[in-house]
């Protein structure tokens, strides 16, 4: 039977792409109406045995998405673009309010509550890892 080897060849590269890196808690806070940019958060864990380098992100439904770092220096909030994030084996990187985040820019359609935004993480070795992120209403007093 020829079908099985062909299937194995198709499935194998996809499995290798996701190897080692786990994504948890991907979510997109509901943006106020008319907002042209908002953030997405999740946690990344490198469960493999090699360091991986996150170099970019794409978001379905947005023309642009960047890796950003928020900081607060002496009461002044700043935001900067992050070119590369290294994740050592066993290390986790949290994307969260007030820290690292994925900036979603120029929405093609306005995301509504419970929508799913597919995020694709791009790595330096050419691998890509996709994850669905649910759009959720965030209460401001939670942060
Ligand atoms: Cu940002």
68 CA → ligand 1 middle, Å: 5
What distances in angstroms separate CA 96 from CA 8, 16, 40, 88, 135, one per listed residue? Answer: 37, 27, 8, 19, 15
d(CA 100, CA 78): 12
12 CA → ligand 1 middle, Å: 35
Give residue 12's pLDDT.
42
Intervals of the chain under pLDDT 50: 10-18, 141-143
- The DSSP call for residue 35 is -
Give residue 55's pLDDT.
95
d(CA 76, CA 65): 24
Would you list the domain boundaries of the chain? Answer: 20-138
CATH number of 20-138: 2.60.40.1890
pLDDT in tens, 84-108: 999 999 999 999 888 999 999 988 8
38 CA → ligand 1 middle, Å: 7
What phi-psi label fits residue 74: left (phi over 0), alpha (psi between -120 and 50 degrees) or beta? Answer: left
d(CA 46, CA 114): 28
37 CA → ligand 1 middle, Å: 8
**Could you please report the per-residue DSSP string of 99-133?**
SEEEEEEEESS---TT-EEEEEEEETTS-EEEEEE
């Amino acid at each position: 039977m020829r079908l099985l080897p062909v299937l194995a060849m198709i499935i194998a590269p996809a499995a290798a792409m996701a190897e080692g890196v786990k994504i948890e808690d991907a979510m997109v806070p509901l943006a106020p109406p008319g907002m042209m940019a908002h953030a997405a958060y999740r946690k990344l864990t490198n469960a493999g045995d090699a360091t991986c380098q996150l170099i970019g992100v794409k978001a379905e439904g947005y023309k642009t998405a960047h890796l950003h770092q928020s900081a607060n220096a002496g009461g002044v909030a700043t935001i900067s673009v992050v070119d590369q994030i290294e994740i050592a084996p066993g290390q986790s990187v949290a994307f969260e309010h007030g820290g690292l985040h994925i900036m979603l820019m120029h929405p093609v359609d306005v995301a509504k509550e419970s929508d799913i935004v597919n995020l694709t993480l791009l790595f330096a070795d050419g691998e890509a890892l996709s994850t669905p992120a649910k759009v959720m209403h965030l209460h401001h007093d939670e942060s």
